[in-house]
């Protein structure tokens, strides 16, 4: 045990004292926050760029009430211009776009023959907005022709929102389910990134020591299993330290950017959602329902299971990374062995996300939350939806059992591979290593 502690301490110190580790620990939060601020301002500048849209209305369909000028868009109606000359005039005056509404025998034909010209690919949100305005105008015209009152029809519309709850009485909503999916998916993505980043770190550490022949000296004093576990745990502690620093620094930097630069992140979000979504969000905020949603989430259970699955998933995959590092002589030789490790991770993230969104208790989500290579990610996504306790128990038992088997399997490869040099191993040779005593 003392030797294991020494290896863990050595790996941790070697990692955190590395110049690249220190530099990336400090720089990464600044890069993340800086990119976020840059994207916000570029999006805002792009949305606020002034656009002039010319239009010709041969059908006398539109009024000034329909096409109102805004801060970013100005509408100019072209009159006494033939359809043949209208495009030339729009190009000469460098208008952003030209909207042409021709005469037609019926509104149905008119709706299919409206044209929208631009020099380059147009802003699709702008196109969609114009289409909706003109569609509403044509619909109201059609209702008048049919002798129907469009105002009364609009007044008769009633929005329906189901009051969602389970048979046991647990209240839910679309917002609550969305929040649960967001929490679960965030946990799954963090775990995947942690495994990829620090699993590779374990593998590189093994390859480096093997290449420098330091491993031959170390292996004379400790068992290969102790050495492998020490590397895995030491790198995990260094990674958790780095993640904690990143989290604290990102929150501080966002707070400073928001106050010092007058940054209003809500403006960008408001521009990307429709009025109904904004109204729903405001209602939830003012009524205190968001706080209630957070309180109803199984935060304690999620935290405990996040730690368990996080450690279980990391240890499971890191032992495989360590075995790969021991089996090869250089990082370029690892490519043939990486795909079997990366594929379950990707499968867990994408299959888990789609299956949990559609049905968190369905057969696909349930099965993948039991398979040890995908359960750390998929079950984390399911936990906010209260999966049955027996499923969590079975998933954990299988994960722990697989971890023990994987460590045994990886240690068999590790003890032989760390002393093998000069030859690229094949899957067949690695299988033979498992039989060595």
Reported as a single tens digit per residue, the pLDDT across 267-308 is 444 444 444 445 555 555 544 555 665 666 677 887 888 888
Alpha-carbon gap, residue 98 to 102, rounded angstroms: 13
pLDDT of residue 274: 47
Return phi, psi of residue 117, to 5°.
-105, 140
- CA-to-CA separations, 364 to 140, 179, 302, 340, 378, in angstroms, rounded: 47, 21, 21, 21, 10
Nearest to 35 by CA among 270, 257, 260: 257
Question: How do the residues of the chain divide into helix, strand and coil, expressed in percent and rounded to 5?
Answer: 70, 5, 25
pLDDT of residue 295: 66
Mean pLDDT of 38-52: 70
- Residue 266: which pLDDT band, with cuts at 50, 70 and 90? very low
pLDDT of residue 110: 84
> Which has more pLDDT, 399 or 411?
399
CATH 3.40.190.10 domain position(s) in the chain: 51-150
Mean pLDDT of 331-351: 80
> Which has more pLDDT, 36 or 209?
36
- Chain segment 130-172, per-residue pLDDT in tens: 888 888 888 888 888 888 887 888 888 787 776 666 666 666 6
Mean pLDDT of 20-39: 86
Alpha-carbon gap, residue 219 to 227, rounded angstroms: 8
- Residue 398: which pLDDT band, with cuts at 50, 70 and 90? very high
Please determine, for residue 428, whether its predicted confidence score (pLDDT) is greater than 70.
yes
Ranked by mean pLDDT, the top range of 394-398, 399-403, 406-410 is: 394-398
> Which has more pLDDT, 193 or 423?
193
> Which has more pLDDT, 11 or 269?
11
30-34, 157-161, 259-263: segment of lowest average pLDDT: 259-263
* DSSP output for 200-257: HHHHHHHHHHHHTTHHHHHTTTS-HHHHHHHHHHHHHHHHHHHHHHHHHHHHHHHHHH
Cβ(38)–Cβ(115) below 8 Å: no
- CA-to-CA separations, 367 to 371, 388, 391, 401, in angstroms, rounded: 7, 13, 10, 17
Cβ(382)–Cβ(392) below 8 Å: no
- Chain segment 115-132, per-residue pLDDT in tens: 888 877 777 888 888 888
- Residue 397: which pLDDT band, with cuts at 50, 70 and 90? very high
Please determine, for residue 224, whether its predicted confidence score (pLDDT) is greater than 50.
yes
10-19, 109-118, 421-430: segment of lowest average pLDDT: 421-430
- CA-to-CA separations, 394 to 188, 356, 372, 382, 400, in angstroms, rounded: 19, 19, 10, 14, 10
pLDDT of residue 395: 92
Please determine, for residue 92, whether its predicted confidence score (pLDDT) is greater than 80.
no
pLDDT of residue 394: 92
Q: In percent, how much of the chain has pLDDT > 70? A: 79
Cβ(353)–Cβ(380) below 8 Å: no
Average pLDDT, the chain: 77
Q: In percent, how much of the chain has pLDDT > 90? A: 2
pLDDT of residue 267: 47
The answer for residues whose C-beta is within 8 angstroms of residue 61's C-beta and 6 or more apart is 101, 110, 134, 137, 138, 141
- Residue 207: which pLDDT band, with cuts at 50, 70 and 90? confident
Alpha-carbon gap, residue 326 to 45, rounded angstroms: 52
CATH of 51-150, one of 3.40.50.2300, 1.10.533.10, 3.40.190.10, 3.30.390.50: 3.40.190.10
Ranked by mean pLDDT, the top range of 19-33, 165-179, 245-259 is: 19-33
Q: What is the reported pTM?
A: 0.66
């Amino acid at each position: 045990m003392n030797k294991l502690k020494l290896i863990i301490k050595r790996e941790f110190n070697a990692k955190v004292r590395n110049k690249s580790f220190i530099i990336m620990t400090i720089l990464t939060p600044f890069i993340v926050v800086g990119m976020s601020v840059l994207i916000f301002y570029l999006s805002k500048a792009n949305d606020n760029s002034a656009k002039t849209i010319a239009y010709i209305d041969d059908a006398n369909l539109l009024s000034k009430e329909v096409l109102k000028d805004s801060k970013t868009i100005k509408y100019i109606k072209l009159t006494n211009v033939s359809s043949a000359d209208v495009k030339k005039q729009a190009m000469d005056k460098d208008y952003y776009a030209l909207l042409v509404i021709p005469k037609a025998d019926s509104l149905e034909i008119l709706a299919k023959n409206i044209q929208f010209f631009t020099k380059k690919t147009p802003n699709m949100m702008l196109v969609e907005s114009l289409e909706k305005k003109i569609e509403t105008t044509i619909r109201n015209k059609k209702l008048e022709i049919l002798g129907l009152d469009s105002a009364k029809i609009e007044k008769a519309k009633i929005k329906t929102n189901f009051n969602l709850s389970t048979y046991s009485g647990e209240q839910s909503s679309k917002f609550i389910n969305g929040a649960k999916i967001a929490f679960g998916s965030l946990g799954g993505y963090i775990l995947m990134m942690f495994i990829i980043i620090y699993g590779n770190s374990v593998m590189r550490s093994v390859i480096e020591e093997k290449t420098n022949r330091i491993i031959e000296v170390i292996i004379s004093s400790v068992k290969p299993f102790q050495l492998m576990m020490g590397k895995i745990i030491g790198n995990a502690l260094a990674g958790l330290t780095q993640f904690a620093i990143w989290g604290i620094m990102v929150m501080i930097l966002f707070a400073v950017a928001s106050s010092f630069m007058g940054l209003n992140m809500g403006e960008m979000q408001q521009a990307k959602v429709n009025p109904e979504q904004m109204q729903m969000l405001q209602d939830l905020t003012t009524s205190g329902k968001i706080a209630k949603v957070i309180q109803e989430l199984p935060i304690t259970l999620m935290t405990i299971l996040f730690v368990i699955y996080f450690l279980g998933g990391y240890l499971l995959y890191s032992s495989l990374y360590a075995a790969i590092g021991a089996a090869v002589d250089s990082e370029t030789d690892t490519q043939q062995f990486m795909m079997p490790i990366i594929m379950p991770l990707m499968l867990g993230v994408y299959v888990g996300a789609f299956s949990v969104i559609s049905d968190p208790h369905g057969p696909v989500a349930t099965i993948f939350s039991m398979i040890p290579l995908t359960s750390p990610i998929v079950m984390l996504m399911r936990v906010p939806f209260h999966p049955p306790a027996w499923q969590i128990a079975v998933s954990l038992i299988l994960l722990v059992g697989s971890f023990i088997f994987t460590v045994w399997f990886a240690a068999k490869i590790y003890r032989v591979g760390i002393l093998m040099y000069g030859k690229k191993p094949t899957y067949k040779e690695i299988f033979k290593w498992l039989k060595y005593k």
